[in-house]
Structure 1
Amino acid sequence: MIKIDRKWAVAACAMVLLIWGNSLVPGTGSSSLSLAIMEDVRGFLHSLSLPYEWVTNFVVRKCAHFTEYMVLGVLVTHAFDIEGRRTFDRLLPTVVFLLLVPSIDETIQLFVPGRAGMITDVMIDCCGAATGVVLRYLLRSLVCTKKAA
């Protein structure tokens, strides 16, 4: 039987609620938030004399998808794999969880005015989650290597 670290599981559940809560925001509210972030990022890059035209609403929205699921990937990996063993019985629940959450997330959006559930967003979410899992294992390996040295 797999042990689950409760504090990391609570953090992961809180992140899922945050993600799903964002999906419940109607399209107009979600779009205005993305546009505000886009303008802030553009202004920041412009103040540094860096190119800023490439920062679009699309880029902001997709980066948000990727980032929130990357964080979720780290949290879920901590919750399901306390010792960092990377065995099948530890990775399977992590993978299943990280496939179900974005699928449910995009399904939620089908019922919210001005929003649309998109398979491409599920793929971006899964890539973000996979990145989080890999980052967690890489960081754990670095920490363990330093402790052994």
Structure 2
Amino acid sequence: MEYMDETTLAHKHTSPWLIAFRIIFTIALVWCILFIFHNSLEISSISSARSHEVMQKINAILAHLNIGPLSEHVVRKLAHFSEFTLEGFLLMLCLRVYTRRFVRHVSWPMLGGMATALLDETIQLYVPGRTSSVRDVWIDFGGVIAGLFVALLLLLIVRGLTSFHAMKKENRRLRAERAELLRQQRADRINTADDRPESPDRREYL
């Protein structure tokens, strides 16, 4: 019963902003995973046509930079890497909004990303014209790690800035309390001096 009371109390004091972020990041993560699986379910001809279209756009941009064109194979691998980078980024954000100890539990999103990569490549085994390979699993997992690292770095920066701001705020509060205490002590000394009785010599002189 005591455990239930503590849990209920924790939920009662959950910030509305935190609840909103949990909903937003969870929906974004689910959408990202579904988007990855949707791309894997496309047959070879459709997937290849879309990759070719993306390749033309990328090569058009690279041509202005005097950089050599990319092959369709490289574009497809970069697309996989980018998808899973986004998933890793969202996995880390979801972990953060559900627990403050996100550094300690970083293995959870890593396992989630690996599971998604394995399932994604398994799906492609049953799609006409698509293939699957261990190398693709590691490319996908590399994207997850990259996204996790970027999100972790941003979260640590935000935590550091927040802690620094809180420390400055606490120091200002302590300085204000100390100044108020000093003013109160000076006021008490003045009041004590005013209430002190006059000496006999001074009364005789007056």
Task: Classify the TM-score, shorter chain.
Answer: 0.7 to 0.9
Q: Does 1:51 align with 2:67?
A: yes
Q: Does 1:9 align with 2:26?
A: yes
> Which position in structure 1 is the counterpart of 2:94?
79
Any gaps of 5 or more consecutive residues in structure 2?
1-18, 166-206
SS in 1 for 2:128: coil
Answer 1 or 2: which has greater helix percent. 2
> Structure 1 residues 6, 49: closer, same or farther in 2, change over 3 A?
closer
Larger Rg: 2
Q: What do you get for the CA RMSD once the two structures are aligned?
A: 1.9
Match of 1:35 among 52, 66, 83: 52
CA distance in 1, matches of 2:68, 2:59: 5
Match of 2:127 among 112, 123, 130: 112
CA distance in 2, matches of 1:85, 1:14: 22
The answer to whether the 8 A contact 1:81-1:91 is kept is no
Following superposition, the deviation at residue 91 of structure 1 comes to 2.1
Give the TM-score taking structure 2 as reference length: 0.65
Aligned length: 143
Share of identical aligned residues, percent? 29
> Which position in structure 1 is the counterpart of 2:159?
144
Following superposition, the deviation at residue 92 of structure 1 comes to 3.1
CA distance in 2, matches of 1:145, 1:27: 47
CA distance in 2, matches of 1:14, 1:84: 25
CA distance in 2, matches of 1:20, 1:91: 24
| Aligned residue identity for 2:41 | L
> Structure 1 residues 111, 84: closer, same or farther in 2, change over 3 A?
same
| Aligned residue identity for 1:10 | I
Runs of 4 or more above 4 Å deviation? none
| Aligned residue identity for 1:109 | Q
> Which position in structure 2 is the counterpart of 1:125?
140
| Aligned residue identity for 1:58 | H
Following superposition, the deviation at residue 23 of structure 1 comes to 0.3
Following superposition, the deviation at residue 75 of structure 1 comes to 0.5
| Aligned residue identity for 1:44 | I
Any gaps of 5 or more consecutive residues in structure 1?
none
SS in 2 for 1:81: helix
| Aligned residue identity for 2:151 | R
**Partner deviation per Cα, 1:125-145 (whole Å, 9 max, x = no partner):** 000000101100111122233
SS in 1 for 2:129: coil
- Ranked by relative contact order (alpha carbons within 8 Å, sequence separation 6 or more), the top structure is 1
SS in 2 for 1:44: helix
